Structures are given as structure tokens and as C-alpha cells.
Structure 1
Amino acid sequence: MPHTPATLLRRAVRPASRAASPHTVLLVMCAGYFLVLLDVTIVNVALPRIGSGLGADVGGLQWVVDGYALALAALMLTSGTAGDLYGHRRVVLTGFAVFGAGSLACGLAPGVPVLVAARVVQGVGAALLLPGTLAIIGRVFPDEAERARAIGVWAGVGSLALPAGPLLGGLLTEWLGWRAIFLVNVPIVVPALIWSAAVVQESREEQARRLDLPGMLLGALALLAVTFAFIEGGRLGAAAPEVLTAAVIAVAALVALGVVESRRGDDAMLPLALLRRSAFGAANTAAGIMNLCTLGTLFVLTLFLQSVQHHSVLLAGLMLVPLFAPLAVLAPLGGRITSRIGSRLPAGAGFLVAAAGLALLPRATPHAGYPVLLVAFLLWGVGLGLVTPAVVAAAISAVPGERAGLASAVNNTARQTGGAIGIAVAGAVAGAASDPARFLPGFHAVAVASACLYAVAAVLAFALLPGALRAGRW
């Protein structure tokens, strides 16, 4: 009997017939996490080709990137609770299916509106996958030491996706066209979905929190309105009626979110009591600044390399590898440093090193050589490699042990929210790369402003993040 899609889908929702090796489960969960992070960076190098192929202006390209980031940020907290309620296996399988369907739709998109909608679908799938894969790993490795090693492998594989994104994106776009960066996900997702169904057993929490749908909807509305205001403000002007309306909606949604969350107590998507902890608030503010500056600057940097310096897609991807490679290499080392001396020094020093790298980017002119950029990329990447594990550890350590999962989800949400807003702001400031007279000063302004924000984050880290370990806690 042929294996039709319907047959495979029915098999996918059946319980696993027997317990598989924990390392087998770890492998397939790492595949899901790798895909989620790969699609954060793989798209950037293809943006000029997408723009020329679909006739998209800079605003359209911002939505192509932010469609994914917005869905990921808006659903991150809720998807973890959904796994507790309905089963992490079911949520992960759904995530693979939705992510694959979104990837296919992206690859076949006839225009920008369809592509943006498909990117949102991808982001929904990614939001289901990211916390679900980690929850399943935690269940199949009950021993604390083995679980720590497994999570280290999971995090390491995810880190590899960041340098792989520009390189793989450049190769695929140069040889097969920009649609290939999305279609390449499909032959990975299909076997991962079937394999997950075969080896992962269902797990859920006996006393899970209820889904906070009002909080999720209000948070998503606020984030969408803020992003719309910045993107369309860069296109239409800050005084445009659409922009002012979006700003009002964003403020109203944030106020309503605060009221709703304060009334829901322990069932709140974002318990406000946690944010009143100075170390927790500082860690997540620093995480948001990190991605705001990183992804925002990366957005305009990619346009600069291809549209201003006229490098090929492949060469631009190769040029960006030194930015992300230190993050993949140093993140495990940064984690060990943090475990020994606390988050304060690695985070503060890392932000200052990254700020020094960004401060060098204004030296990048249309005819500047690569060595100018290389030094900036290496400093920037080394700084991020120190900061990333430090701010995550600080957020988790600032709350009671039983809230560690929620703390991790909040930290991830802060990073994705910062990234979405950063892309919107950077594009609005720099404008279209086809207008170098405006774009180049705007690109340099984004880099300088990001360096300054990194310096602010460094002060925040030195002042409020925890120092050395005491009695097993920060």
C-alpha cells in the first residue's frame, strides 16, 4: 500500500510504539531547533534578490524578516503552556508540520503579501518547536548531569545554525535562487516529523497552567502595532495617520496587557511579579537590547554589502561568517565562565566588546576593504558569544527553580521581540539601499546607536546582574 500524505499524517499522531534511545530523541529535537534558528539568519543574505524578484521595497523586506520574528515572539510563552496542557509531543509534531507548510508556501510565494503571510506561518511553527524540543529533552534525560549535557548539545547545535545561515543562504541563493532557502527546509522537516512521531513518547504536566489567550492576543497586538508604526513610519513619515493610529493601538494594548496580566495571577502568560525582580528585569532588558541591535544592524548591513558594495550573494554570506562563528565557538566557553564567576562580568564585558565592533562600522564606505569589516565582525561576534549565555543564565537564576522554564521562555521572548523591533527601526532609519545618499548615513547611524545601546546594556549588567556563585545559587 503506498504511503500517502494522509497515511503518514495518521501515523504521525499515533503514540510512539516503544521508548527510543534518549540520544535518538535528542538528535531529532536538535534538528527542530536547528531549523528554527537557521531561518533567523538564512533569509538576510537573500533580501536583495527577494526585493528584485518580487519588486519589494525596503518596507516589504522588513516585513519578510519580521513576519517570522513577530509570530515567534508573540507565541513563545503560550506555546510552552500549550505543551504542558496538550502534550509536548503533539505540540512538536504540529510545529514541524506548520513550519514545513510555511516553508513550502514561502518557496512558492508569487508576491510579497503571500511571502509575508507564509513567514508568519513559519514563525508559528517555530514558536511551537522551540520550547517543545527543550521540554522533551528534559523528560527523556531524568538524570540531572545527563540532562545538562544534553541541553548543552541542543544549544551547541542551535549555535551552529547562526553561522550556517549566511553561508547556506548565500550558496542556495547564488546557485538555485532565493526560493531555495525556504524549500530546503521541506526535505528536512518531513523525515524529522515522521521520525519524531516514531521515537518521542507523549508527556504533559499534571497541573499545568491554563492558556492565557487574552494575554497572548494583547501582547501580539502590541508588538504588531509597534512594528507597523516603525516600518510604515520610515515609508510614510511619522505624522502619517496610519502610523499615529498604530502608535495609539500599541500603547492601549500594552496598558490593557498590564491590567489583564495583573489580574490573572499564576495563570498569567507573563507574571508581572517576576519582572519586579531587578536581576530578572535587567537580564531580559539586556537580552532585548542584544537582539534589537544585532538583528537591526544585520538587516541594513546585508543590504550594504550587496546593494552598496555590490558583492555577490555568496560572497556576502561568506563575509558574514566571522560575525556568527565566534558566537557558536564561544557560547559553550561563555557558559562555563558564567557558571564560575556569575553573569555580571561576562555580560558587561561582552557588551563592551560588541559595542567596540559596532563602533567600527561607520568606517565602512562603498569602497572600503574587507579588513575594515572583518575586525568589526570579530569584535561584535566575540562580544555576543560572551553575552548570550550570561543573560540567559542570569534570567533563569533570578527566579525560583520551579519557574526556570518560564524564565527561559520570557528571555527568549524578550530577544525575539527586540529583534523584531530592531529590524523595523533600522530599516526606517536607513531607508532604501538604492538611495545611497540617505542609506549610507542611516546605516552608520544605526551602527553608532547600536554601539551606544550596547554600552547602556553593559552598565545595566555591571549594576544589576548577579556576580559570583554563593551556595549553589547566584
Structure 2
Amino acid sequence: MRKQLSFPTRSSRLALLATSLGFVLICLDVTVVNVALARMRDSLNLDSTALEWVVNAYTLAFASFLLSAGALADRFGARRIFAAGFAVFTCASVGCGLSAGAAMLIAARVLQGIGAALCVPSSLALLGAAFPDPQARAKAVSIWAGTAALALGAGPLVGGVLVDRFGWPAIFLINVPIGVAGIWLTVAHAPDTKGHAARRIDLAGQTLAVIALVGLTYAVVESGRLGWTGMTVLAGLAVAIVAGGLFVMVEARHAEPLLPLALFRHAAVNVSALTGLSLNFGYYGLMFAMSLFFQSARHDTPLETGLAFLPMTAVVTVANVASGSLTARFGYRLPMVVGQALAALGYLSLAFVRVDSSALAVALPLLMVGVGVALAVPSINTAVLTHVDPSWMGIASGVLNTARQIGGVLGVGLFGALVRPEFDDLAEGLHHAAILAALVTLASLVSIVLGLRTSGSIVTDDRARRLSSSPRE
């Protein structure tokens, strides 16, 4: 009979609690904002493009600064950067709640994204330091992701209640007590990783990354209003391509690059990044599109919208924990495959949902998507932590999460262009968006099957990683 794993020390448990609170804060914000979109639109007189920017301003800043945040965690220590991210996010949440117009709200959302970017890579680095045993680490990562999944699950319902009873600003102000508790817990109890004082910040790479992602986001978001042939949309795409190309050139020559290209010599890193992109592309895009579909086409209240999302989000925690157990026993490849297959099936089923569809007909596809995504998330994090040298965990987790957030930006932008409240047939737009999500997910599934030749045993692969040289060597 296999002996159950236990957490090594009290400090490890407290580190897990601190990092989980940080991820809870970030993920709670994602789902509650989607439920409040219609009320924000009416209260602040926002159009569809402004609504997309409210969502994407956060995600864009998150994606843009994740890599630098990982480097900062490696240089100054994960605990210091993690606490700083908590503080920025909490203060920005106050700014969001007090916003009186689109400009202030979007600016505060950018600051929230920067705070979130500081938190996520350092949280994974803290977990790597607190749980050196690979199997215990897999369990810890699954719990870390599971608590965040709990926030995702509770977010629509909590958001619906808050918006209905207290108005949309309450969804941001609820972050304040969580943030204060997380900051105190991190400073008082979380262990730290060793800082590398020689690690330099790649300002040129960071600047080019921001320019490229802003150009891409602008083109995708504005394409819904101007069309793909609009001059400013084409200009945004051109800026993204040029800046992206220059970014690769700079990173290839930089002594301390923002994105060490040698990281991509591991198939597990490449596949995990692509899988993460596809996960957020479908999930974030679906949350945005379905929220508008529920409230603009079916005329549901925010609370009813939150309840409609519950089948997709409520099962996430259980599936996350199950994924950790599967990963510890069979390796990370199996949860990836099963998860992506389920998610693709769920997206395809949404292509048959109509405005007058029953609650069950809507709930079942959302349930498949929720379980599928939740199975895959812990396994991709474990795959990256397993294959990367410990001194590069901050940057590696930043790469993975950057890919995920880019997927979210693209999903919200493209789905928002297909499902706009001023369109006559929102259901048809939702069908096109669901099919697009299914195709991207299936492409990721093919990359997993072809790119990961082994099951991904965390014990065997962790030993292999320790014996191999780090990317900087």
C-alpha cells in the first residue's frame, strides 16, 4: 500500500497558503469582472470595445511583465517580489473600485496586471524552494492551482451577488482584505529563494515585448470595430511583427536575456507553453463571450449569469486535485491529453447552444470545459518545474504564464469581435467562437501527443533535469 505524502514542515504549509492566497486574488478577479461587464457598460456608458479593454488591459499588463517579474524574483528573491506584487494588486483594486470612467478603470486594471505579474512567477519559485521532493511538489502545485480554481469557481456566484446587491465596484474592493492577509502571511512566514545579484534586467527586451504585445492586442481588439483591413489594425499587426522580430534578435544576443531561448530546447517547455496558450484562449474568451450572451441575449441578471457559470467553475477544484494525483502517479502527459480532449468536446458542444436552450443543454458543455481545463493546468506547471534548473524557475514559470496570458488576450479579443451586444444574432457569433476555441484546443492536443513521447514521470524527468546543464551554461 502506497504511503500518502505529507508536507515536510510547517513553513512549507505556510508557504503553500501564502502562494495560494496570491493566486486566489488573481483568479478571483478574472471571473468576477466578466460577470459585471453588463453593469459596467450601463453604469459607465462603455461600448463593446471599451469592455474588451477593461478585460484585456489587465491581461495585457500581466502578460507583458511576467518575464521581467520572473527575472526580478530570481535576482531579488521570490518572497520580496511576491509581497510587492500583493501590495500593487491590492492598491490597484481600490483604484478600480473608485473609478468614475473608462480611462481610470482601464489604467487601474493595468496596475492590477502588473501586480499579478509580480505574484505568479515568484509564487511558483517559492513552491519549488519549499517542496524540493518532486512528488510532494506535484501535490503542492495541484493544491496551489486548486485553491485558485476554487476562486474561479466561486467568482461568478460571488460576483453576481456583489453586483446585484452592492454594485460593480464591490467586485474589486473585495480584493482588499484578501490582499492585506496575503501580504502579512508572506512577510511573516513564507520562505525565500536565494537571490542572484548578478542577474540583470533586460530593459530592451522588456520594452520590445510590451510594444509587440500592445500592437497585437490593439489589432485584435479593434478588429471587431474596424475590421481586419482597417489601417490602424494593420498598423498594429505590423508593429507587433516588427517588435516581435527585434525582440528575438535582442534576446539571442543579450548576455542576460529576458527570455533565454535555450529554455525552448526542452520539448516539455514548448508543449506546456502552447497548451497554456490554448487553455486561456478558450477559457478566458468563453467567459467574456458567454457573459455577454447570458446578459444581452438571454437577459439574465448578474446573479443568474454567475449561477449559469457554476457548472464550469465549481468542478475546477476537484479536477485540479485529481490532476495532481494523476500526475504524481502516471506523469504529466496523461492529464494534459485527457484535459484537452474534454475541453475540445465541450467547446464543440457549445456550437449547438441557442438562446432558448435549456439550462442543462448549456451546463453540460461548460462542465466539460471546466473539467478539461482544470485537469491540464497543474500538469503543465509540473512539467515546466520538472525540466528547468532551479535557478531558472522564476523565468521559466514566467514564460509559461506569459503564454497563457497571451492566449487570454487573443481569446477575449477574437471572441469579443464575434459576440458583440449590438449584433442581432449573438448565438451565431458564440457558435463561431466555440468552434474556433475547439480548433485551437485540438491543435494543442496534437502537439502534446507528438511532442511528448514519454508519459512524463516526475521522478525520472526530475533526475534527468538535475543531471543536465542549466540553460545559461
Q: Once the two structures are superposed, what CA deviation does each residue of 1:335-366 show, in whole Å capped at 9, x if it has no partner?
A: 22233333333322322221111111122212
Change (3 A) 1:28 1:397: closer
Q: What pairs up with 1:101-140 in 2 under 5 angstroms?
A: 101-139=91-129
Structure 1 partner of 2:303: 314
2:422 to 410, 421, 434: 434
Structure 1 Cα separation of the partners of residues 47 and 59 of structure 2:
19
Q: Tell me by how many angstroms 1:53 deviates.
A: 0.8
1:75 to 55, 65, 68: 65
Q: What pairs up with 1:155-174 in 2 under 5 angstroms?
A: 155-174=145-164
Q: Tell me by how many angstroms 1:209 deviates.
A: 2.3
Structure 2 partner of 1:98: 88
Q: Tell me by how many angstroms 1:32 deviates.
A: 1.9
Structure 2 Cα separation of the partners of residues 290 and 145 of structure 1:
24
Query: Is 2:232 the partner of 1:245?
Result: no
Structure 2 partner of 1:282: 271
Code of the residue aligned with 1:473 in structure 2: it is D
Q: Tell me by how many angstroms 1:30 deviates.
A: 2.5
Q: Tell me by how many angstroms 1:43 deviates.
A: 0.6
Deviates more, 1:215-224 or 1:83-92: 83-92
Partners of 1:131 and 1:409 within 8 A in 2: yes
Structure 2 partner of 1:89: 79
Q: Tell me by how many angstroms 1:276 deviates.
A: 4.3
TM normalised by structure 2 equals 0.89
Code of the residue aligned with 1:126 in structure 2: it is A
Q: Tell me by how many angstroms 1:448 deviates.
A: 1.0
Structure 2 partner of 1:450: 437
Structure 2 Cα separation of the partners of residues 73 and 245 of structure 1:
21
2:215 to 222, 225, 237: 225
2:17 to 27, 39, 46: 27
SS at match of 1:360: helix
Structure 2 Cα separation of the partners of residues 272 and 60 of structure 1:
35
SS at match of 2:461: coil
Unaligned ranges ≥5, structure 2 = 1-9, 463-473
SS at match of 1:315: helix
Structure 2 partner of 1:40: 30
Structural RMSD (CA): 2.4
Structure 2 Cα separation of the partners of residues 330 and 103 of structure 1:
29
Structure 2 Cα separation of the partners of residues 401 and 195 of structure 1:
24
Partners of 1:283 and 1:465 within 8 A in 2: no
Structure 2 Cα separation of the partners of residues 347 and 133 of structure 1:
22
Structure 2 partner of 1:56: 46
Q: How many residues align?
A: 453
Structure 2 partner of 1:8: none
SS at match of 1:436: coil
Query: Is 2:288 the partner of 1:299?
Result: yes
Deviates more, 1:333-342 or 1:93-102: 333-342
Using CA pairs below 8 Å that are at least 6 residues apart, which structure has the higher relative contact order? 2
Structure 2 Cα separation of the partners of residues 194 and 345 of structure 1:
38
Partners of 1:296 and 1:426 within 8 A in 2: yes
TM normalised by structure 1 equals 0.89
Q: Tell me by how many angstroms 1:404 deviates.
A: 4.2
Q: Once the two structures are superposed, what CA deviation does each residue of 1:8-66 show, in whole Å capped at 9, x if it has no partner?
A: xxxxxxxxxxxx95544543332222101111222111111111111111111111111
Partners of 2:340 and 2:373 within 8 A in 1: yes
> What percent of counterpart residues are identical?
38
SS at match of 1:42: helix
Deviates more, 1:239-248 or 1:145-154: 145-154
Structure 2 partner of 1:423: 412
Structure 2 partner of 1:330: 319
Q: Tell me by how many angstroms 1:408 deviates.
A: 2.5
Structure 2 Cα separation of the partners of residues 278 and 199 of structure 1:
36
Q: Tell me by how many angstroms 1:307 deviates.
A: 0.9
Structure 2 Cα separation of the partners of residues 350 and 144 of structure 1:
22
Unaligned ranges ≥5, structure 1 = 1-19
Q: What pairs up with 1:341-352 in 2 under 5 angstroms?
A: 341-352=330-341
Partners of 1:339 and 1:469 within 8 A in 2: no
